[in-house]
Homo-oligomer: A and B are copies of this chain.
Amino acid sequence: MGASPRRVGLLTAGGDCPGLNAVIRALTKSLIFDHGIEVIGIMDGFKGLVENAARELTMDDVSGILTLGGTILGTTNRENPFKYPVSKGREIVFKDRSRDVLETVERLRLDMLITIGGDGTQAISNQLVQKGLRVIGVPKTIDNDLHGTDLTFGHDTAVAVAAEAIDRIHTTAMSHHRVMVVETMGRYSGWIALRAGIAAGGDILLLPEIPYHMDAICREVHQRSEKGRRSSIVVVAEGAKPKGGEVTARRTVADASDPLRLGGVGERVALEIEKTTNVEARATILGHIQRGGTPTPFDRILATRYGVEAAVIAARGESGKMVALHGDEIVSVPLESVACGPRLVPESSTLIKTARSIGSSFGDK
């Protein structure tokens, strides 16, 4: 444990996530007010560290931002200082620019960095610790698939947005006697699909962790129809895949040789259900509405608690730690324990058992 820092740099990196500003506000207020530490906001994620873009944050700067989506620190850039994109003629090559980070830190006279981000960000944070910087991480991802913490801020909002969208789709499914397939975010893990599915009464939940059989899904739809259910709701995470199959990734420009090959797993599942069962099926892709906007009050509280606790351990002079929620307590865990791939929904999850007990199925049998 080192001396208490006098000046701390703050950055947000990775995808957008409701609650970023709530963390920034709590950190800034708490660092200044409680600990007498100056706060410098780094602009545009690690890019600002490489290219030296920053500004001081005062109490006034963070007043009134608690409910705002996005980040007041420019963008949540995904750039990695260790593999930094540099234009070389018409091409882009990647260079290690961690030296520039160290220089910026020195120029700004920062005694410590606090990085708000997901597993990619925390892996970089850990590398920066190896380079001699003092870094504290704050866990952020709407997907909730980060190791070391029970819950990340932003997840409750994503679940709420997805669940409330499914609420609306329910009545249409019933009014039209249809199967509605709703695709949520979750490339590697099914936390959003699972929680939103339970919260909104999904009948079939497809998660990346449980490969599905189209047969099982269609049989289930058919049985529901026989029993007189006027509709079925299928909630599918974008990373769900058939048993033995591959993830049907939504295209990116890079691979878009055929500009019309655009569908993902949502459309795929809807199409196959319709072909097999003869019940009309439609897909809704919730997409980015799960990622932005005002955080739920739950997430604002969690984000605020993370911010306050990160300030506490920063002031204590710790480094190489990430704040985390264990049960109902905010604790800290080593950064290196976090960066080990996505945290999946375990087979034994009580959420999965809960869903099965109320009659939801997972397309696996």
CB of A361 to closest CB in B, whole Å: 11
- B-side contacts of A167, CB under 8 Å: 67, 293
- B-side contacts of A26, CB under 8 Å: 354, 357-358
Q: A71 contacts the other chain (Cβ, under 8 Å)?
A: yes
In the complex, which residues 100-140 of chain A have their Cβ closer than 8 Å to any Cβ of chain B? none
CB of A91 to closest CB in B, whole Å: 13
Are B329 and A169 interface neighbours, CB within 8 A?
no
Q: A75 contacts the other chain (Cβ, under 8 Å)?
A: yes
Q: A172 contacts the other chain (Cβ, under 8 Å)?
A: yes
Q: A95 contacts the other chain (Cβ, under 8 Å)?
A: no
- B-side contacts of A198, CB under 8 Å: 300-301, 304
- B-side contacts of A258, CB under 8 Å: 261
Distance in angstroms between the alpha carbons of A75 and B284 in the assembled complex? 20
The main secondary structure of chain A at its interface with chain B is helix
Are B29 and A297 interface neighbours, CB within 8 A?
no
Q: A187 contacts the other chain (Cβ, under 8 Å)?
A: no
Are A262 and B259 interface neighbours, CB within 8 A?
no
In the complex, which residues 237-292 of chain A have their Cβ closer than 8 Å to any Cβ of chain B? 251, 253, 256, 258-263, 267-268, 271-272, 274-275, 282-292
Are B25 and A288 interface neighbours, CB within 8 A?
no
How many copies are assembled? 4
Q: Which range holds the interface residue count of chain A?
A: 35 or more
CB of A71 to closest CB in B, whole Å: 6
Are B253 and A271 interface neighbours, CB within 8 A?
yes
In chain B, what residue has the closest Cβ to A30? B357
Are A199 and B75 interface neighbours, CB within 8 A?
no
CB within 8 Å for A70 and B175 given contacts A198-B301, A297-B199, A354-B305: yes
Instruction: Name, among A70, A172, A177, A263, the residue most crowded by chain B CB atoms within 10 Å (CB to CB).
Output: A172
Distance in angstroms between the alpha carbons of A89 and B350 in the assembled complex? 48
CB of A238 to closest CB in B, whole Å: 13
Q: A221 contacts the other chain (Cβ, under 8 Å)?
A: no
CB of A171 to closest CB in B, whole Å: 3
Are A75 and B263 interface neighbours, CB within 8 A?
no
Distance in angstroms between the alpha carbons of A354 and B263 in the assembled complex? 35
- B-side contacts of A289, CB under 8 Å: 165, 168-169, 284, 286
- B-side contacts of A63, CB under 8 Å: 229
Are B175 and A16 interface neighbours, CB within 8 A?
yes
The 0/1 profile, CB within 8 Å of B marked 1, for residues 291-324 of chain A is 1111011101100110110011000000000000
CB within 8 Å for A75 and B168 given contacts A30-B357, A275-B253, A358-B25: no
Q: A334 contacts the other chain (Cβ, under 8 Å)?
A: no
Are A29 and B357 interface neighbours, CB within 8 A?
yes
Which of B59, B282, B353 is A308 in contact with, Cβ under 8 Å? B353
Are B288 and A285 interface neighbours, CB within 8 A?
no
Which of B150, B268, B288, B327 is A168 in contact with, Cβ under 8 Å? B288
Can you pick out 5 interface pairs between chain A and chain B where the beta carbons lie within 8 Å of each other?
A172-B288, A262-B271, A284-B287, A284-B289, A285-B287
The 3 closest A-B pairs by CB, nearest first: A262-B263, A69-B171, A168-B293
